Amino acid sequence: MAGHLSSTLAMSRQFVDSIAPTFVNTTIIAGKFHPNMKSFIDNWGQVSSSIISLVVTLFLLAIYTVWKLFVAGQTYANAPIACIDPKRPKATLPKARDRFRSDAITMLQEGYRQFKGRPWYVPSPLGERLMIPSKYVEELKNAPVNEVDFVATFFEMFEGRYTTMGSRSTLHPRVAKHELNQNMAAVLDPIMEEIKDAFEEHLPTTEERKPVHVHDAIVNIVARVSSRMFGGVDLSRNKEWVDSTINFALDGFVGAQAIKKYPTFVRPFVAKFIPALTKIKRHHATAQRVIVPILHEREKAAAAGWPESHGKPPADFLQWMLDAAVGDEKQKSFIAQIQLKLSFAAIHTSAAAPTQLLYDLCSLPQHIEGLRDEVNEARASGEGELNKRTLLKLEKLDSLMKEAQRFNPLLLITFERIVTRPYTLSDGFRIPANTQIGVPTQAISMDPELYPNPEVFDPLRFYKLKKLLDGRDPGAAGKLAFASSNHESMAFGYGRHACPGRWFAGNEIKMIMVYLLENYDFRLPEGKTGLENRPPSLCFETQYLPNPQAVLEFRRRKTD
C-alpha cells in the first residue's frame, strides 16, 4: 500500500510539473485566462479526463502534504527540547519555532545553560535541531561523509538547488589547504597594494570628516582584495566581476529566504518567479564570460613555457586550481563556477569582521592608540615591512579580533551536519536518520567556566591569557589565535571541514585594520562613545550579521 501510494504521488508530481508552470503563469500570476482558454472550454469533452486527473493530483498532493506535516513528523533522539513548556509541549512548540527566526541567540544560550554537557534540541521553523556537546565532535568529525554529511547542511541552509550555493568538489579545499597556506607570504604584497587602491576609491581622501555607510564600503573593499588573491588584477580591477561576486552572495541569501516560505513540492514552480533567484543565472554567465578567457590565455602561456611577455606563472588561486585540477575538474566552465562560489565564502564573511571591529573600536575608542602603537612596533621590527612575521606580532589586534568574534560570530551554530542514517556514538547515544546536528558556538563562548566575566567585552582578553600561559603551555598562542579551531572556539568550524582559508582571512582582516589604523580617524556620528551606542548586530535564525545601515565618520589622518 505504501509503495503504491509513493508511486502514485511520484506520478502526480510529474503531472503537476508538466502543467503547473503554464497554469501559474497564465491564471494565477497574470490574473486572467490564456487566449486559448476559450478553445479549451469549447472542447471540454476532449479534455475533461485531464481535468479529472488534475483534481485527483491536487487531492493526492494535499494528502501527501498533510501526511508530511502531521503524520510523518520528525524522529527524535532521547534528548530534551529547549525553550518550550514541558507540561504543554505541543501547544508551545510552534511558538518556539517561530521565535527562532529572530531570537535564536537567546534560545541557544538558554538551552546551553539548561542542558550543558548533554544533547538537546532547539526548535526552529524547519524542525528541531540537535545541539551536541563538544565532547562528541572528535568522533563525529571522523565519521564517513555518507553518514554524517557536512555539505548537505549547507545546501539546506542556502537552498543550494535554487541558489547554486555549495559544492561537493574537493578542488578548492585542496588548493586552500596546501597552495594558499604555503604561499601566504607571496600573496601579501599584492593584497596590500589592492587594499590601498580600494580604500582610495571607497573612503574619504581628505582630512575633513565624512559619513560613510561602512558595511557597503568594507564589502566593496574586501571584494576587490579577495578577487586580487583569486585571480590577480584581471579580476580585482574588473568591475563587472567584482559587482557580480558581491551580488551573487546577496541574491543567494535573499533567494534562499524567499523560497523557504513555500512548501517543498511547489518550490520548483515558484523559484522561476523569485527575482533574486532569476539573477543567479546572470552571475554564472558573468563568471563564464570573465574567467574562461583568462584560463585560455594562461593555458597558452603554460604551453609556450611562460614566455617573457607573460611573466612568471601567477601566484593566485585561479592558477593553483588550474594546476591542481584532475579529470573533470579541468573543465574551464567548472573552474569558473567554483571561482564564483568561492566569492560567497570569502567576501561577505571576511567583510563582516572588519565591520564589527570598526563598530567596536568606535564604541571603545580608548583602545585605538594602543593598537596603533603595536602596529608601529611591529613595523619597526620588520624594517617597516608588513609581512607574515610582522603580522604575527600584532597580538593585541589578534586578541581584539577574537573577542569581537566571540561577541559577534557570523554563525551562532557551527559544526553543522546532517546525519543521513542512524548513528550511535561511543557512549550509546543514538542519533536518528535525517537529524540536523550542530554545536551552539556562540552560547559556548559565553560560558563563565571558559571565559570569566563573559558578558564583559575585553579587547585584551586573549592577549592577557596568552601572556599568562607563556612558558606553561607552548601551544597556547596557537590555540588562542583568531584563526584557531578547537573545542572552545569553533567559529571557523572544526575537523576536516573547518574553513581551510581561515589563516588567509585572518591576515587579510589584519591588513585591512592596519591600513585603517594608520591612515584614518573614525568615530560614531557626533563623536558618541560607549557600547550602548554601538550599531546592533542583526540576528536572522543562526546568522548574526553586522548592521548594514550604520554610518561612521571617517577622515584621512595627517601623515608626515
| Helix residue ranges, H only, 74-149 | 89-115, 137-141
Classify strands 129-131 and 435-439 as parallel, antiparallel or unpaired. parallel
Helix, strand, coil percentages, rounded to 5, for the chain:
60, 10, 30
Of the candidates 287, 191, 293, 275, the residue with the CA atom closest to the CA atom of residue 245 = 287
On whether the CB atoms of residues 324 and 175 are closer than 8 A, the answer is yes
Q: Which residues of 58-93 are buried (b: 16+ CB within 10 A; e: fewer)?
A: eebbeebeeeeeeeeeeeebebebbbbeeeeeeebb
Give residues with Cβ within 8 angstroms of 78, minimum separation 6. 429, 430
Residue 554 in 3-state DSSP?
strand
- Burial of 558 (C-beta count, 10 Å sphere; 0-12/13-18/19+): exposed
Nearest CA among 508, 227, 179 for reference residue 344: 227
Residue bearing cell 538547488: 161
Whole-angstrom CA distances from 12 to 8, 25, 62, 182, 365 are 6, 20, 11, 54, 63
Burial grade of 426 (CB within 10 A; 0-12, 13-18, 19 or more)? exposed
Contact predicate 353/520, CB 8 Å: no
The reply, when asked if residue 499 is annotated as ligand binding, is yes
Q: Which residues are annotated as a binding site?
A: 499
The binding site for heme comprises 499
